[in-house]
Amino acid sequence: MIRMTSLDPTRPKWSQVAAILEQRIKDGTYPPQTALPGTVPLSNEFGVAPSTVAKAITDLKRRGLLTASPGWGTFVV
């Protein structure tokens, strides 16, 4: 479990969360077509606000690593 104290205070938290999630996608922790955990469980894991996780997820969607399916969740591409 990553805690806020493990994050670099000189970098935006959302970008660090995005980098960790991207690494998990690349290393197969979150394989293609897998639903990403929700923002609340991830925010609890990282020790950040749900809005911080939401911003990280938005960045990963913008970069084509995740896709959202309304009513179903967010999935790895």
Residue 6: per-residue pLDDT: 84
Q: Which CATH architecture has domain 11-76?
A: Orthogonal Bundle (1.10)
Domain boundaries, the chain: 11-76
* 64: region left, alpha or beta (phi > 0 left; psi from -120 to 50 alpha): left
How far is Cα 5 from Cα 35, in angstroms, rounded to an integer?
A: 27
Mean pLDDT, the chain, integer: 94
Mean pLDDT of 5-16: 90
- The pTM for the full model equals 0.91
Mean pLDDT of 41-67: 97
